[in-house]
Chains A and B, each alone.
Chain A
Amino acid sequence: NAGVTQTPKFRVLKTGQSMTLLCAQDMNHEYMYWYRQDPGMGLRLIHYSVGEGTTAKGEVPDGYNVSRLKKQNFLLGLESAAPSQTSVYFCASSPPDLGEQFFGPGTRLTVL
């Protein structure tokens, strides 16, 4: 099993460009999450999903959109990238009980 995978691993964008980050999991988990990690701050939740076709806002949702059309995939979109969105983005998935979250390897995004 691959676990949780993220595409791409690195990306550089110019201000105003758009892009989509893809997260895929093969563990049949119901719940999926997108986080961002910035220096000196803990991981912060951007959006999450508790099942196929559902999404909800986390702590820092502004400037991002998400979709969960298939259970195994969770997409994070930036419609008009800003330098403040320079960060490392982690996707995670978990079963619907108190189970642990499994993290992807991260995507390092730089917005110039």
Chain B
Amino acid sequence: KNEVEQSPQNLTAQEGEFITINCSYSVGISALHWLQQHPGGGIVSLFMLSSGKKKHGRLIATINIQEKHSSLHITASHPRDSAVYICAVKGSNYKLTFGKGTLLTVNP
């Protein structure tokens, strides 16, 4: 069983919709990352958080350490938000453990 589970695996939305992607993990962590990967593209770090909530533009990331759960929200979604969103957790060492990703498609 993967230590990091994301849901849903695939998500299709209409432009303007509010989107939520979830990430659950089973181990103690020091930080959680949300990454974005466009089709055929590289990987970009969106957020790194260890508690609470962070916001950047239309993106909001939250984490609940007690429940071992994080969510990534996108407000007023746009077709350019179409990408794979990856959750990754960092334990006590230097390494990240990655989820399999959520493929988001936003239709105009």
Contact = CB atoms under 8 A, between A and B. Distances in A.
B31 A98 contact: yes
B48 A99 contact: yes
Given A40-B100, A58-B95, A100 B48 contact: yes
Contacts of B100: 40-42
A42 B48 contact: no
Contact of A45 (B31, B43, B95): B95
Interface in B86-108: 86, 88, 90, 94-101
Q: Among A43, A45, A48, A98, find the residue whose CB has the most chain B CB atoms closer than 10 A.
A: A43
Contact of A98 (B41, B48, B95, B101): B48
Contacts of B43: 43, 90, 92, 103, 106
Contacts of B96: 43, 45, 101
Give the size range of B's interface with the partner: 20 to 34
A42 B50 contact: no
Contacts of B97: 42
Contacts of A101: 33, 45, 96
Interface in B12-43: 30-31, 33, 35, 41-43
A interface secondary structure, majority: loop
Q: Among B4, B48, B90, B95, find the residue whose CB has the most chain A CB atoms closer than 10 A.
A: B95
Contacts of A90: 42-43
B102 to A, nearest CB: 11
Contact of B99 (A42, A102, A106): A42
A104 B44 CA distance: 9
A92 B88 CA distance: 14
Contacts of A99: 48
Interface of B: 2, 4, 30-31, 33, 35, 41-45, 48, 50, 86, 88, 90, 94-101
19 contacts: A41-B100, A42-B97, A42-B99, A42-B100, A43-B43, A43-B86, A43-B96, A43-B98, A45-B96, A48-B95, A92-B43, A98-B31, A100-B33, A100-B48, A101-B96, A103-B42, A103-B43, A105-B41, A106-B42
